[in-house]
């Protein structure tokens, strides 16, 4: 049974009337199609408000990401957090929605400078498990009025409620960009990336890709980009051969984790201390990609292998993004954290409507 409400009020009524658990899907690009009853958010679509001069966009949750990006690009603006297209690397289909991006807190290379999706998100409306419409935050970028449920919803992956409307702080597209490429192996990459990120040259991308090396992006006005890329090249030359490229496609590939697409095995993503990325990459072996200065490590490992166990010890979190191995997709939370998480979910969803597949190990394929 698939429900596709056209309005927020219809969705609220639907949730109130639901007899039991349901799966929520935006474009189903990450979790794949649901096994049981599902709510599709695609009917809740369209821009509610866009004020380019205030850098503010309000949009309904089922709006395709591509449409959001096109609306912004027409005014020379963009989402600061650079969400990726993970269909190829996950081996999925469908059309990404902005609500799905928020539910996953999906963030690309610019996170290292502009923050994650949750940092650009300034307001939400959602339907909780009681079928109540709840609004939090708003359309202004500085707002500390009441608790920040905006952050609670970002990355909540459908476990607290269904998002219906989202407000973002957006940013102008930089007129110029350049990438400094330093030819180093993965083990040496975190030191290069940290040196760049610890410099005053305002790096907006810091990745490592096999066959290319450490990648450092600067963006801004043309003169400034020329100056900073040159300074970075000088700074990093001591650590490896460094050259400057201006091909923006380098960052589309990093954003989409393209270097790991089409390879066999399970896909894992680590959030970790950047300085530990080299050692973790060595322990995992195989195909890896670093982003966020080494704070994010993507790895392709043989099917069923527990990459989390192999990578240990490290400080952070590892999630299996695809595959159905023996290891859980997410590690169990510490007891005190789990108690709060369970309490919040019970508070927002006392009937367990959103426990459909949000907890199940359904990551695709």
Partner 1 sequence: MEMPPPDPAILSRKDQIVAGLRAILPADAVIDDPVETRAYECDALSAYRCPPLAVVLPRSTAEVAAALRFCHEQRVPVVPRGAGTSLAGGSMPTADSVVLGVARMTSVLEVDYADRFIRVEAGRTNLSVTGAVESAGFFYAPDPSSQLACAISGNIAMNSGGAHCLKYGVTTNNLLGVTLVQMDGTVVTLGGPFTESGGLDLLGLVCGSEGQLGVVTEATLRILPKPEGARPVLIAFSANDIAGACVADIIRAGILPVAIEFMDRPCIRATEAFAQAGYPDCEALLIVEVEGSAPEIDEQIALIRQIAARHTPIEFREARSEDEARRIWLGRKAAFGAMGQINDYMCLDGTIPVSALPEVLRRIGELSREAGLEVANVFHAGDGNMHPLILYNANTPGDLERCERLGAEILKLCVEVGGCLTGEHGVGVEKRDLMRVQFRPADLEAQMRVKDVFDPRWLLNPAKVFPLDASAARRAA
Q: Which of residues 254-273 bind partner 1 (CB under 8 A)?
A: 271-273
Considering only residues 34, 149, 186, 327, which one is a binding residue for partner 1 as defined by CB under 8 A?
149
Question: Least CB distance from residue 2 to partner 1, whole Å?
Answer: 27
C-beta of 64 vs 352, nearer to partner 1: 352
C-beta of 211 vs 332, nearer to partner 1: 332
Beta bridge mates, 57? 50, 168
121-128 and 133-137 beta bridge pairing: antiparallel
What's the 3-state SS for the chain? CEECCCCHHHHHHHHHHCCCCCEEECCCCCCCCCCCCEEECCCCCCEEEEEHHHCEEEEECCCEHHHHHHHHHCCCEECCCCCCCCHHHHCCCCCCEHHHHHHHCCCCCCHHHHCCHHHHEEEEEEEECCCCEEEEECCCCCCCCCCCHHHHHCCCCCCCEEEEEEEEECEECCCEEEEEEECCCHHHHHHHHHHHHCCCCCEEEEEEECCCEEEEEEEECHHHHHHHHHHHHHHHHHHCCEEEECCCHHHHHHHCCHHHCCCCCEEEEEEECHHHHHHHHHHHCCEEEEEHHHCEEEEEECCCCCHHHHHCCCCEEEEECCCCCCCCCCCCCCHHHHHHHHHHHHHHCCCCHHHCCCCCCCCCC
Considering only residues 116, 214, 254, 307, which one is a binding residue for partner 1 as defined by CB under 8 A?
116
Considering only residues 40, 118, 217, 300, which one is a binding residue for partner 1 as defined by CB under 8 A?
118
Considering only residues 101, 348, 353, 357, which one is a binding residue for partner 1 as defined by CB under 8 A?
348
Q: Which two three-digit tokens encode residue 151?
A: 């952050």
CA pair distance 203, 193, nearest whole angstrom: 9
C-beta of 3 vs 78, nearer to partner 1: 78
Interface with partner 1, residue 173, by CB under 8 A: yes
Interface with partner 1, residue 151, by CB under 8 A: yes
Q: Which two three-digit tokens encode residue 148?
A: 């920040």
Considering only residues 139, 188, 324, 352, which one is a binding residue for partner 1 as defined by CB under 8 A?
139
Interface with partner 1, residue 240, by CB under 8 A: no
Question: Least CB distance from residue 175 to partner 1, whole Å?
Answer: 6
Interface with partner 1, residue 295, by CB under 8 A: yes
Beta bridge mates, 58? 49, 167
C-beta of 90 vs 272, nearer to partner 1: 272
Question: Least CB distance from residue 207 to partner 1, whole Å?
Answer: 14
Interface with partner 1, residue 10, by CB under 8 A: no
Interface with partner 1, residue 155, by CB under 8 A: yes
Question: Least CB distance from residue 312 to partner 1, whole Å?
Answer: 14
Considering only residues 6, 93, 247, 333, which one is a binding residue for partner 1 as defined by CB under 8 A?
333
Instruction: Look at the alpha carbons of 122, 178, 276, 263 in this order and tell me if their dihedral is positive or negative.
Output: positive
Q: Which of residues 192-221 bind partner 1 (CB under 8 A)?
A: 194, 197-200, 202, 220-221
Task: Kindly indicate which of the ranges 18-26, 145-153, 242-250, 256-264 contains the residues binding partner 1, using the contact rule CB under 8 A.
Answer: 145-153
**Binding-residue pattern over the window 27 to 46 for partner 1, x denoting contact by CB under 8 A:** --------------------
Interface with partner 1, residue 67, by CB under 8 A: no
Considering only residues 67, 95, 171, 212, which one is a binding residue for partner 1 as defined by CB under 8 A?
171
> How far are the Cα atoms of 99, 251, 258 from residue 91, in angstroms, in the given order?
20, 20, 11
Question: Least CB distance from residue 142 to partner 1, whole Å?
Answer: 4
Interface with partner 1, residue 249, by CB under 8 A: no
Interface with partner 1, residue 224, by CB under 8 A: yes
Interface with partner 1, residue 160, by CB under 8 A: yes
Interface with partner 1, residue 238, by CB under 8 A: no
Interface with partner 1, residue 352, by CB under 8 A: no
């Amino acid at each position: 049974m698939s429900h596709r409400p056209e309005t927020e009020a219809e969705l609220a009524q639907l949730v109130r009337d639901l007899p039991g658990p349901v799966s929520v899907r935006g474009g189903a690009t990450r979790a794949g199609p649901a096994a049981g009853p599902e709510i599709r958010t695609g009917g809740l679509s369209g821009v509610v408000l866009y004020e380019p001069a205030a850098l503010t966009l309000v949009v309904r949750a089922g709006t395709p990401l591509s449409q959001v990006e096109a609306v912004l690009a027409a005014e020379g603006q963009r989402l600061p957090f650079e969400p990726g297209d993970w269909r190829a690397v996950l081996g999925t289909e469908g059309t990404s929605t902005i609500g799905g991006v928020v539910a996953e807190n999906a963030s690309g290379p610019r996170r290292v400078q502009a923050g994650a999706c949750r940092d650009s998100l300034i307001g939400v409306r959602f339907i909780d498990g009681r079928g109540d419409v709840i609004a939090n935050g708003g359309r202004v970028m500085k707002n500390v009025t009441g608790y920040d449920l905006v952050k609670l919803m970002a990355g909540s992956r459908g476990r607290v409620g269904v998002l219906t409307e989202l407000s973002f702080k957006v940013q102008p597209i930089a007129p110029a960009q350049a990438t400094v490429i330093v030819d180093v192996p993965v083990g040496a990459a975190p030191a290069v990336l940290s040196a760049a990120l610890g410099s005053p040259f305002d790096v907006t991308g810091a990745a490592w890709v096999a066959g290319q090396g450490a990648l450092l992006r600067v963006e801004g006005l043309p003169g400034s980009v020329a100056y900073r890329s040159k300074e970075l090249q000088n700074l990093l030359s001591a650590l490896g051969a460094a050259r400057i490229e201006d091909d923006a496609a380098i960052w589309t590939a990093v954003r989409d984790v393209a270097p790991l697409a089409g390879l066999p095995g399970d896909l894992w993503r680590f959030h970790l201390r950047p300085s530990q990325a080299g050692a973790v990459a060595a322990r995992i072996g195989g195909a890896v990609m670093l982003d966020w200065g080494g704070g994010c490590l993507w790895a392709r490992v043989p099917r069923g292998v527990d990459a989390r166990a192999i990578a240990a010890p490290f400080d952070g979190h590892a999630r299996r993004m695809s595959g159905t191995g023996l290891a859980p997709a997410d590690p169990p939370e510490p007891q005190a954290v789990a108690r709060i998480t369970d309490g919040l979910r019970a508070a927002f969803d006392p009937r367990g409507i959103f426990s459909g597949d949000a907890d199940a190990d359904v990551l695709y394929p």
